[in-house]
Amino acid sequence: MEKINEEVISILVKLTKNIIGDKAVELVLSDLGENILGRQLVFAFAEKIQDLFGEKGGFSTMRQLGREVAKSMMEQNPREKWEEVMELALNELGFAERVEREENAAYICKCVFYEILDDRNLKPVEHSVCWAGWGFIEGFAKQMYGAKGVQWTERDYENEKCKFEYIRA
C-alpha cells in the first residue's frame, strides 16, 4: 500500500475548504507542524477539525469529506468502474488495504489509522478520522446501491476490518 502523499493531502484540503471554508481550513493547518507527514498529518488534521468544531461537528465534517472524496472519484470514472474504484481507492490514497463489498455491507480492511487509534485507547469511530472512511463508503453506497445511508456496526479485530451496513429503508 502506498503512503499518503502530498497530492492526496492537497486533494483532501481542497475538498475540506469546500465544506468548511478557506479560513477554517487555514486555521486548522496553521496549528499543524511542518514535521508531520502522511497518516500522522491526516490524523492530526482530523483531530484539529474536531477540536475546532467539537466532537459532533468534527465527525460530521469528516464524514462529509469522505462523501466528497467518493463523489469526486465517481465523477472522474465511468459508472461501470465505480465498484472497482470503491474497492481500490482507499489503497491508492494510502488509507487502507481495500474495501470489501457484500450485498448489504462494506468493510474497510486494514485501515492505516487503527494503530494510532489503538495507541490512544480509542475504538473505531471514536475519532473524526474514522468518519471520513464512513462517509466514503456512504457516498458510494448511496449512488451504487440506492442506500439511504450507512451505519458502522462492528470491528473484526482478528481480520482487521470495520463493517458498515447499508440503510435501505
What does the alpha-carbon distance between residue 89 and residue 84 come to, in Å, rounded to a whole number? 8
pLDDT greater than 60 at residue 1: no
List, for residues 23-41, the tens digit of each pLDDT value.
Answer: 999 999 988 877 777 889 9
Residues 107-134 pLDDT 10s = 999 999 999 999 999 999 999 999 999 9
Q: What is the pLDDT of residue 46?
A: 95
Q: Which pTM was predicted?
A: 0.92
All domains of the chain in start order, with CATH: 6-167 (3.90.1520.10)
- Asked whether the beta carbons of 118 and 139 are under 8 A apart, the reply is no
Q: Judge contact between 70 and 136, C-beta under 8 A.
A: yes
Instruction: Indicate if the pLDDT at residue 87 is higher than 60.
Output: yes
For range 58-70, the mean pLDDT: 96
Of 129, 150, 125, give the one whose Cα is nearest residue 50: 129
